Amino acid sequence: MKHWLRTSVVASITIVCVVMTVHLFDWRTVIQALSRMRLAFFLCGCIPVVIGMFVVRGIRWLTVLGLPLDRHRLWQSIGANGAASGLASVTPFQLGEIIKIGMIPDHDRSAWRMGVSAFFLERVLDLAGVIGMGLCGLLMRTDHAWLGVVASFAPVFCGQLLYSFAPMTKYLPHRLRHHTDLLHDYRCVTVASFLTLLLWLLYLTMWWIAVNAIHVSLTFGQATLLLGSVMLAVVASMTPGGLGVAELGSRGVLLWLGKSAAEADAGAIALRLLTPILACAGALCLLLTWLYRRRASLNSHPTKPRKT
Protein backbone atom coordinates (compact mmCIF):
# COMPACT_ATOMS: atom_id res chain seq x y z
CA MET A 1 0.00 0.00 0.00
CA LYS A 2 2.77 2.43 0.96
CA HIS A 3 4.73 1.57 -2.19
CA TRP A 4 1.65 2.19 -4.34
CA LEU A 5 0.97 5.51 -2.59
CA ARG A 6 4.58 6.65 -3.01
CA THR A 7 4.57 5.70 -6.69
CA SER A 8 1.30 7.55 -7.21
CA VAL A 9 2.64 10.70 -5.57
CA VAL A 10 5.83 10.65 -7.66
CA ALA A 11 3.86 10.01 -10.85
CA SER A 12 1.42 12.82 -10.05
CA ILE A 13 4.18 15.34 -9.36
CA THR A 14 6.01 14.31 -12.53
CA ILE A 15 2.87 14.67 -14.65
CA VAL A 16 2.06 18.10 -13.18
CA CYS A 17 5.61 19.38 -13.77
CA VAL A 18 5.73 18.03 -17.33
CA VAL A 19 2.30 19.49 -18.16
CA MET A 20 3.35 22.89 -16.80
CA THR A 21 6.57 22.72 -18.83
CA VAL A 22 4.70 21.88 -22.01
CA HIS A 23 2.20 24.66 -21.35
CA LEU A 24 4.66 27.44 -20.40
CA PHE A 25 7.37 26.86 -23.00
CA ASP A 26 7.13 28.37 -26.47
CA TRP A 27 8.13 25.24 -28.38
CA ARG A 28 8.26 26.93 -31.77
CA THR A 29 10.91 29.29 -30.43
CA VAL A 30 12.72 26.41 -28.73
CA ILE A 31 12.87 24.42 -31.98
CA GLN A 32 14.23 27.46 -33.80
CA ALA A 33 16.88 27.91 -31.10
CA LEU A 34 17.83 24.23 -31.28
CA SER A 35 18.22 24.49 -35.06
CA ARG A 36 20.79 27.27 -34.53
CA MET A 37 22.56 25.45 -31.69
CA ARG A 38 26.33 25.06 -32.02
CA LEU A 39 26.28 21.28 -31.74
CA ALA A 40 30.02 20.80 -32.27
CA PHE A 41 30.79 23.33 -29.53
CA PHE A 42 28.27 21.62 -27.25
CA LEU A 43 29.58 18.08 -27.73
CA CYS A 44 33.31 18.89 -27.98
CA GLY A 45 33.03 21.04 -24.87
CA CYS A 46 30.79 18.86 -22.69
CA ILE A 47 32.26 15.40 -23.36
CA PRO A 48 35.81 16.22 -22.11
CA VAL A 49 34.29 17.96 -19.07
CA VAL A 50 32.15 14.88 -18.31
CA ILE A 51 35.26 12.69 -18.51
CA GLY A 52 37.05 15.07 -16.15
CA MET A 53 34.10 14.91 -13.73
CA PHE A 54 34.20 11.11 -13.70
CA VAL A 55 37.95 11.13 -13.06
CA VAL A 56 37.63 13.60 -10.16
CA ARG A 57 34.76 11.55 -8.73
CA GLY A 58 36.84 8.38 -9.02
CA ILE A 59 39.81 9.92 -7.22
CA ARG A 60 37.58 11.36 -4.50
CA TRP A 61 35.87 8.00 -3.95
CA LEU A 62 39.20 6.24 -3.42
CA THR A 63 40.30 9.08 -1.13
CA VAL A 64 37.30 8.85 1.18
CA LEU A 65 37.57 5.06 1.23
CA GLY A 66 41.22 5.30 2.22
CA LEU A 67 42.33 3.03 -0.64
CA PRO A 68 45.67 3.37 -2.47
CA LEU A 69 45.51 5.29 -5.73
CA ASP A 70 46.85 2.69 -8.17
CA ARG A 71 45.93 2.14 -11.82
CA HIS A 72 43.74 -0.92 -11.18
CA ARG A 73 41.62 0.68 -8.45
CA LEU A 74 41.47 4.06 -10.19
CA TRP A 75 40.10 2.55 -13.39
CA GLN A 76 37.39 0.67 -11.50
CA SER A 77 36.56 3.69 -9.35
CA ILE A 78 36.18 5.96 -12.38
CA GLY A 79 33.92 3.36 -14.01
CA ALA A 80 31.81 2.92 -10.88
CA ASN A 81 31.41 6.67 -10.34
CA GLY A 82 30.66 7.25 -14.01
CA ALA A 83 27.94 4.60 -13.91
CA ALA A 84 26.57 6.05 -10.67
CA SER A 85 26.52 9.58 -12.10
CA GLY A 86 24.72 8.39 -15.21
CA LEU A 87 22.09 6.58 -13.18
CA ALA A 88 21.74 9.50 -10.77
CA SER A 89 20.87 11.78 -13.69
CA VAL A 90 17.66 9.80 -14.34
CA THR A 91 16.58 8.79 -10.81
CA PRO A 92 14.64 10.68 -8.09
CA PHE A 93 16.76 12.41 -5.44
CA GLN A 94 19.80 11.26 -7.51
CA LEU A 95 19.61 7.95 -5.64
CA GLY A 96 21.43 6.18 -8.48
CA GLU A 97 24.67 7.23 -6.78
CA ILE A 98 24.15 4.41 -4.27
CA ILE A 99 25.19 1.71 -6.76
CA LYS A 100 28.85 2.65 -6.43
CA ILE A 101 28.87 1.32 -2.87
CA GLY A 102 28.36 -2.14 -4.35
CA MET A 103 31.12 -1.51 -6.88
CA ILE A 104 33.87 -0.61 -4.42
CA PRO A 105 37.17 -1.46 -6.17
CA ASP A 106 38.57 -3.53 -3.35
CA HIS A 107 37.82 -6.79 -1.61
CA ASP A 108 39.03 -5.59 1.77
CA ARG A 109 36.27 -5.70 4.38
CA SER A 110 37.40 -2.33 5.77
CA ALA A 111 36.64 -0.67 2.44
CA TRP A 112 33.14 -2.16 2.37
CA ARG A 113 32.54 -1.04 5.96
CA MET A 114 33.66 2.49 5.08
CA GLY A 115 31.41 2.57 2.01
CA VAL A 116 28.32 3.95 3.75
CA SER A 117 30.16 6.64 5.71
CA ALA A 118 32.20 7.56 2.62
CA PHE A 119 29.00 7.95 0.61
CA PHE A 120 27.50 10.09 3.37
CA LEU A 121 30.59 12.34 3.45
CA GLU A 122 30.47 12.78 -0.31
CA ARG A 123 26.79 13.70 -0.24
CA VAL A 124 27.30 16.28 2.52
CA LEU A 125 30.24 17.85 0.66
CA ASP A 126 28.25 17.87 -2.59
CA LEU A 127 25.35 19.59 -0.85
CA ALA A 128 27.79 22.19 0.46
CA GLY A 129 29.12 22.60 -3.07
CA VAL A 130 25.64 23.24 -4.48
CA ILE A 131 24.80 25.74 -1.72
CA GLY A 132 28.17 27.42 -2.17
CA MET A 133 27.61 27.87 -5.90
CA GLY A 134 24.16 29.35 -5.30
CA LEU A 135 25.45 31.74 -2.62
CA CYS A 136 28.35 32.74 -4.86
CA GLY A 137 26.00 33.78 -7.64
CA LEU A 138 23.61 35.53 -5.27
CA LEU A 139 26.39 37.54 -3.61
CA MET A 140 27.92 38.49 -6.95
CA ARG A 141 24.52 39.71 -8.10
CA THR A 142 24.37 42.00 -5.04
CA ASP A 143 27.83 43.44 -5.84
CA HIS A 144 29.69 41.42 -3.18
CA ALA A 145 32.00 39.58 -5.56
CA TRP A 146 34.73 38.82 -3.02
CA LEU A 147 32.19 37.30 -0.61
CA GLY A 148 30.86 35.25 -3.52
CA VAL A 149 34.31 33.82 -4.18
CA VAL A 150 34.61 32.94 -0.49
CA ALA A 151 31.17 31.28 -0.56
CA SER A 152 32.22 29.07 -3.48
CA PHE A 153 34.69 27.40 -1.09
CA ALA A 154 31.78 26.07 0.97
CA PRO A 155 32.83 22.38 0.49
CA VAL A 156 36.23 23.18 2.02
CA PHE A 157 34.67 24.97 4.99
CA CYS A 158 32.17 22.14 5.40
CA GLY A 159 34.97 19.56 5.46
CA GLN A 160 36.83 21.45 8.18
CA LEU A 161 33.61 21.77 10.17
CA LEU A 162 32.95 18.03 9.94
CA TYR A 163 36.50 17.31 11.11
CA SER A 164 36.08 19.66 14.08
CA PHE A 165 32.94 17.73 15.09
CA ALA A 166 34.75 14.37 14.89
CA PRO A 167 35.61 14.22 18.65
CA MET A 168 31.90 14.45 19.46
CA THR A 169 31.22 11.13 17.72
CA LYS A 170 32.39 9.31 20.85
CA TYR A 171 28.95 10.04 22.31
CA LEU A 172 27.22 8.08 19.56
CA PRO A 173 26.03 4.50 20.13
CA HIS A 174 28.81 1.97 19.68
CA ARG A 175 27.20 0.35 16.64
CA LEU A 176 27.24 3.73 14.84
CA ARG A 177 30.66 4.90 15.98
CA HIS A 178 32.69 2.96 13.42
CA HIS A 179 30.77 4.71 10.63
CA THR A 180 32.32 8.01 11.70
CA ASP A 181 35.96 6.87 11.66
CA LEU A 182 36.39 8.68 8.36
CA LEU A 183 35.81 12.07 10.00
CA HIS A 184 38.93 11.63 12.14
CA ASP A 185 41.20 11.51 9.08
CA TYR A 186 42.11 15.15 8.46
CA ARG A 187 43.98 14.52 5.22
CA CYS A 188 41.13 12.45 3.79
CA VAL A 189 38.44 15.01 4.62
CA THR A 190 40.53 17.95 3.37
CA VAL A 191 41.51 16.33 0.06
CA ALA A 192 37.91 15.24 -0.52
CA SER A 193 36.73 18.81 0.17
CA PHE A 194 39.04 20.35 -2.44
CA LEU A 195 38.15 17.64 -4.95
CA THR A 196 34.48 18.46 -4.38
CA LEU A 197 35.18 22.13 -5.11
CA LEU A 198 36.94 21.12 -8.33
CA LEU A 199 34.03 18.82 -9.24
CA TRP A 200 31.46 21.60 -8.96
CA LEU A 201 33.64 23.95 -10.98
CA LEU A 202 33.55 21.30 -13.70
CA TYR A 203 29.77 21.13 -13.38
CA LEU A 204 29.69 24.90 -13.73
CA THR A 205 31.82 24.71 -16.87
CA MET A 206 29.53 22.07 -18.38
CA TRP A 207 26.41 24.15 -17.72
CA TRP A 208 28.04 27.29 -19.13
CA ILE A 209 28.99 25.42 -22.31
CA ALA A 210 25.46 24.02 -22.72
CA VAL A 211 23.75 27.38 -22.31
CA ASN A 212 26.24 29.28 -24.47
CA ALA A 213 25.98 26.64 -27.20
CA ILE A 214 22.38 27.75 -27.72
CA HIS A 215 23.41 31.45 -27.82
CA VAL A 216 22.38 32.43 -24.29
CA SER A 217 25.22 34.34 -22.66
CA LEU A 218 25.86 34.07 -18.92
CA THR A 219 28.42 35.69 -16.65
CA PHE A 220 30.28 33.65 -14.04
CA GLY A 221 27.98 34.91 -11.29
CA GLN A 222 24.84 34.17 -13.28
CA ALA A 223 26.05 30.67 -14.12
CA THR A 224 26.83 29.86 -10.48
CA LEU A 225 23.42 31.12 -9.35
CA LEU A 226 21.69 29.06 -12.04
CA LEU A 227 23.66 25.91 -11.15
CA GLY A 228 23.19 26.21 -7.39
CA SER A 229 19.49 27.02 -7.39
CA VAL A 230 18.44 24.48 -10.01
CA MET A 231 20.55 21.65 -8.60
CA LEU A 232 19.06 22.23 -5.14
CA ALA A 233 15.61 21.83 -6.65
CA VAL A 234 16.65 18.71 -8.59
CA VAL A 235 18.25 17.03 -5.56
CA ALA A 236 15.07 17.60 -3.55
CA SER A 237 12.82 16.51 -6.40
CA MET A 238 10.96 13.21 -6.38
CA THR A 239 10.67 13.23 -10.18
CA PRO A 240 13.09 11.03 -12.18
CA GLY A 241 16.11 13.14 -13.05
CA GLY A 242 14.25 16.24 -11.90
CA LEU A 243 12.03 15.98 -14.97
CA GLY A 244 9.90 19.10 -15.24
CA VAL A 245 11.35 20.55 -12.04
CA ALA A 246 14.73 21.30 -13.66
CA GLU A 247 13.12 22.89 -16.73
CA LEU A 248 10.76 25.08 -14.72
CA GLY A 249 13.53 26.01 -12.29
CA SER A 250 16.01 26.87 -15.05
CA ARG A 251 13.43 28.94 -16.89
CA GLY A 252 12.44 30.83 -13.73
CA VAL A 253 16.04 31.63 -12.76
CA LEU A 254 16.96 32.77 -16.27
CA LEU A 255 13.91 35.04 -16.36
CA TRP A 256 14.88 36.45 -12.96
CA LEU A 257 18.39 37.11 -14.33
CA GLY A 258 16.88 39.32 -16.99
CA LYS A 259 16.84 36.94 -19.95
CA SER A 260 13.97 37.03 -22.43
CA ALA A 261 11.33 34.31 -22.40
CA ALA A 262 12.79 32.84 -25.59
CA GLU A 263 16.31 32.73 -24.09
CA ALA A 264 14.98 31.23 -20.85
CA ASP A 265 13.11 28.47 -22.71
CA ALA A 266 16.10 27.68 -24.93
CA GLY A 267 18.56 27.68 -22.02
CA ALA A 268 16.41 25.31 -19.96
CA ILE A 269 16.11 22.82 -22.84
CA ALA A 270 19.86 23.07 -23.53
CA LEU A 271 20.54 22.06 -19.93
CA ARG A 272 18.15 19.10 -20.27
CA LEU A 273 20.26 17.89 -23.21
CA LEU A 274 23.02 17.19 -20.68
CA THR A 275 20.95 14.32 -19.24
CA PRO A 276 21.34 11.96 -22.24
CA ILE A 277 25.06 12.74 -22.36
CA LEU A 278 25.50 11.81 -18.69
CA ALA A 279 23.23 8.76 -19.00
CA CYS A 280 25.04 7.42 -22.10
CA ALA A 281 28.46 8.11 -20.57
CA GLY A 282 27.35 6.30 -17.41
CA ALA A 283 26.11 3.29 -19.38
CA LEU A 284 29.42 3.16 -21.24
CA CYS A 285 31.33 3.29 -17.95
CA LEU A 286 29.22 0.43 -16.59
CA LEU A 287 29.93 -1.67 -19.67
CA LEU A 288 33.67 -0.94 -19.60
CA THR A 289 33.85 -1.72 -15.88
CA TRP A 290 32.11 -5.05 -16.42
CA LEU A 291 34.45 -5.94 -19.28
CA TYR A 292 37.50 -4.90 -17.22
CA ARG A 293 36.46 -7.03 -14.24
CA ARG A 294 35.60 -9.96 -16.48
CA ARG A 295 38.99 -9.77 -18.15
CA ALA A 296 40.74 -9.48 -14.78
CA SER A 297 38.81 -12.51 -13.52
CA LEU A 298 39.79 -14.57 -16.55
CA ASN A 299 43.44 -13.57 -16.18
CA SER A 300 43.46 -14.54 -12.50
CA HIS A 301 41.78 -17.91 -13.24
CA PRO A 302 43.20 -19.05 -16.58
CA THR A 303 41.54 -22.03 -18.23
CA LYS A 304 43.58 -25.16 -17.77
CA PRO A 305 44.45 -27.05 -20.96
CA ARG A 306 42.68 -30.36 -21.39
CA LYS A 307 44.69 -33.52 -21.01
CA THR A 308 45.00 -35.66 -24.12
**Cα gap 178→96, rounded to integer Å:** 25
Q: What is the pLDDT of residues 84-102, one digit of tens each?
A: 999 999 888 787 888 888 7
Query: Is the per-residue pLDDT at 307 higher than 70?
Result: no
CA angle (103 as vertex; 289, 274 as ends), nearest 5: 65
Note the pLDDT of residue 110: 58
Indicate the number of domains in the chain.
Answer: 1
89 Cα distance to chain centroid: 8
**Cα gap 149→224, rounded to integer Å:** 11
Classify residue 126: in a domain, yes or no.
yes
**Cα gap 282→301, rounded to integer Å:** 28
Q: What is the mean pLDDT of residues 9-26?
A: 84
Strand ranges in 106-237 using DSSP code E only, listed in sequence order: none
Note the pLDDT of residue 301: 62
Q: What is the mean pLDDT of residues 63-85?
A: 90
From residue 37, give the alpha-carbon distance in Å to each of 42, 81, 262, 267: 8, 30, 14, 11
Note the pLDDT of residue 292: 84
Classify residue 114: in a domain, yes or no.
yes
Classify residue 193: in a domain, yes or no.
yes
Note the pLDDT of residue 112: 61
Classify residue 21: in a domain, yes or no.
no
Q: Mean pLDDT across the chain, nearest whole number?
A: 88
Classify residue 201: in a domain, yes or no.
yes
Classify residue 38: in a domain, yes or no.
no
Q: What band does 190 get if pLDDT is binned at 50, 70 and 90?
A: very high
Q: What is the pLDDT of residues 120-171, one digit of tens each?
A: 899 999 999 999 999 999 999 999 999 999 999 999 999 999 999 888 887 7
Classify residue 302: in a domain, yes or no.
no
Note the pLDDT of residue 57: 96
Note the pLDDT of residue 109: 56
73 neighbors 62 (Cβ within 8 angstroms): yes
Spatial CB neighbours of 220, under 8 Å, sequence gap ≥ 6: 140
Q: What is the pLDDT of residues 263-276, one digit of tens each?
A: 999 999 999 999 99
Query: Is the per-residue pLDDT at 302 higher than 70?
Result: no
- Dihedral, CA atoms, 104, 207, 284, 193, nearest 10 degrees? -10
Q: Which domain holds residue 78?
A: 47-297
Nearest to 262 by CA among 36, 38, 26: 26
Note the pLDDT of residue 39: 95
Q: What is the pLDDT of residues 229-254, one digit of tens each?
A: 999 999 888 788 888 899 999 999 99
Note the pLDDT of residue 12: 83
Classify residue 308: in a domain, yes or no.
no
Note the pLDDT of residue 2: 64
Query: Is the per-residue pLDDT at 106 higher than 60?
Result: no
